[in-house]
Amino acid sequence: MNANQFLKAVAQLQGWRECAFLLALAERSFPNYALFAEAVDLKTGGKMHQILDLAWGTLQEDVAESAIPQLLVKLEALSPDVGAYDAYGVYPAFDFCQLLEQALLNRLNPSKHRATEASQLATSTVMSFIELSEGDGLEEYELVRLLDSHPLMKEDKAFQRNLVLELKRQRTPVEQFITEVRETAANDGVSNLGISPGD
């Protein structure tokens, strides 16, 4: 699957497939939030994980219409204010919150396409991290080469492409399939930036 085919496939995602895609992107980047919360001594990692659990639950069962707005309010309360912290970690943490928000908004308004933007957001989190950690003083062409060849970029690309293919192949969101998608996305607690709480 080349880049154009991937973009087209993402643009075609709808319904439960689009929601599962958004949730999987959020799941993969959750450790970025957990690590940031730990680093600045916010006791919010557990609460945020509960919201993520409940969001996954919405794929399997009919949820009361009022439940999603309540989750969105809780999510907003736990989202960090990027202007309030000097630490770089606030940005990947906030990106996670945005991905989870898109997944919840998808359940509220499934007709609005969100997957393409979310895919780009998840990738830009990785790009920013590489630029910050390894791109200092590089010329633009050197930076492009670094990003093209970087293991984290390759991993992000492979993860997103495989995810889209799995979703396209699956006919219904049966529990076992959703569990497998979530487990793959969770990546043993290692985020799209290659970090995990406790590192």
**Is the four-CA dihedral 19, 119, 113, 8 of positive or negative sign?**
negative
Residue 199 has pLDDT above 70, yes or no: no
- Tokens in use for 106? 């998808």
Q: What is the pLDDT of residue 65?
A: 75
Structure tokens at 134: 């390894």
Q: Is the pLDDT of residue 1 over 90?
A: no
pLDDT digits (tens, 9 = 90+) for 111-144: 999 999 999 999 999 999 999 999 999 999 999 9
- The values of phi and psi at residue 173, to 5°, are -80, 60
Q: To which residue do tokens 């707005």 refer?
A: 69
Q: Which helix (H) or strand (E) holds 64?
A: none
Q: Give residue 100's pLDDT band: very low, low, confident or very high (50, 70, 90).
A: very high
Rounded to an integer, the average pLDDT of 40-66 is: 91
Q: Which domains does the chain have, with CATH numbers?
A: 7-189 (1.20.1590.10)
Residue 6 Cα to chain centre, angstroms: 17
Q: What average pLDDT score do residues 8-36 get?
A: 97
User: For 178-183, what is the mean pLDDT?
Assistant: 98
- Check: CB of residue 61 under 8 Å from CB of residue 7: no
Q: What is the mean pLDDT of the chain?
A: 95
